[in-house]
Structure 1
C-alpha cells in the first residue's frame, strides 16, 4: 500500500474511476481535483490517500479524511478498483488497510456515501459485507430517483463494534429509539 501521492496520480485516479463506468465526467473531475489539491496543499487539504498496486499497475485507491467539526469521525470519500481487477478481493483489502490507517490517525468511525440507484446495489452489498451498516437514506439527494445512502462503521474489534455502530445516529451520536 502506498500512502504518499506522486506526480501522475491524478491521471491514475482518473483511469481507475473512468474504468468503472459508474461515474459521470463531472465526478471523474472531482476525484482528480482532490488529488491535485492534496499535491498542492499536502495534509492541509484534509484529504489522505491509499493506493494499491499489483506489480507495476496501480489498480485501486481510497481517498478519506477526518470530518471537520468531529472528534474522531472520518469520511471515506472515494474507494474505487479498476474494472479489470474487480472481484479479486482487492477492494476489501484496500478498505481494511484504510480503516487501519484511520485508526492510527485517531479515528473510530467511518462514514461512506453512495447512490440508491440500482446500478449501485453491488456497492451497497460490498459495504454491508464489510460490516458497514446503513445509517440513513436521503431520497432524491443527487436527483429524482437517486438518493444518498449513508453507511457507518464503528472501528474496533469486529462484531462488538458493529453493535456499537447500530446504536449510532447518522452524525455518530447515539440515536434515540422511537
Structure 2
C-alpha cells in the first residue's frame, strides 16, 4: 500500500534508509532533519513523501518542486528495502508519484544519480520507467563520479 508518510513512520524510515546502504551517518542525520522539518511544515504543496507500507516500510520516495520553474519536480529519493527489490515496488512508487503530479497538472519529473559503473542498475531502472538521460555533469559528486540527470515529461507545455 502506497500512502503519504506520517510522523509515526519517521523511525522506520531512518531504519529503511540505513538498510538500503546508500546512506552514511551524515546522510542519515540529514534525512532525520528533513523528516523533522517536513512534519513541522504544514504546507505540502511543494514537496511530499510517500511510503510503500506492508506492516513496516519497504520503500520510500521523496519528491520536491524545483524553485523558479513552472511544473518541474525532482524525485530526490527513492529506496526499496534490499529484500523487496526487483518486485516492481520501485516502479509502482514512481508511477504513484507521476499520477500525483499529473493530477496537479505538473509537467516534468527529474531524477539524478551517479555515473559510477556500480549504479548502472539504477540507471537501467530509470530508463525502464520511461526516463531519458538529459544531462551529465562530470566529476560532480567527486573526482571521477559524474552526476547523471534523467527527465520524463508528464504533460506537454
Please report how far the alpha carbon of residue 72 of structure 1 lies from its aligned counterpart in structure 2 after TM superposition.
0.5
Q: Which has the greater radius of gyration?
A: 1
Distance 2:87 2:44 in 1: 34
5+ residue gaps, structure 1? 162-172, 174-178
Please report how far the alpha carbon of residue 45 of structure 1 lies from its aligned counterpart in structure 2 after TM superposition.
8.2
Q: What is the TM-score when the length of structure 1 is the normalising length?
A: 0.81
Contact 1:75/1:112 (8 A) holds in 2: yes
Q: Does 1:116 align with 2:115?
A: yes
Distance 2:102 2:140 in 1: 30
Superposition RMSD in Å: 1.8
Distance 2:58 2:107 in 1: 27
Q: What is the TM-score when the length of structure 2 is the normalising length?
A: 0.91
TM-superposition CA deviations, 1:64-110 (whole Å, max 9, x none): 02111111010101001011211111110111011101112221110
SS at match of 1:33: helix
Please report how far the alpha carbon of residue 44 of structure 1 lies from its aligned counterpart in structure 2 after TM superposition.
5.8
Q: Which has the higher strand share?
A: 2
Cross-structure match for 1:2: 3
TM-superposition CA deviations, 1:114-165 (whole Å, max 9, x none): 1111221111110010010000010110111111110000014xxxx7xxxx
5+ residue gaps, structure 2? none
Please report how far the alpha carbon of residue 12 of structure 1 lies from its aligned counterpart in structure 2 after TM superposition.
2.0
Structure with the bigger RCO (C-alpha within 8 Å, sep 6+) is 2
Give the number of equivalent residue pairs: 156
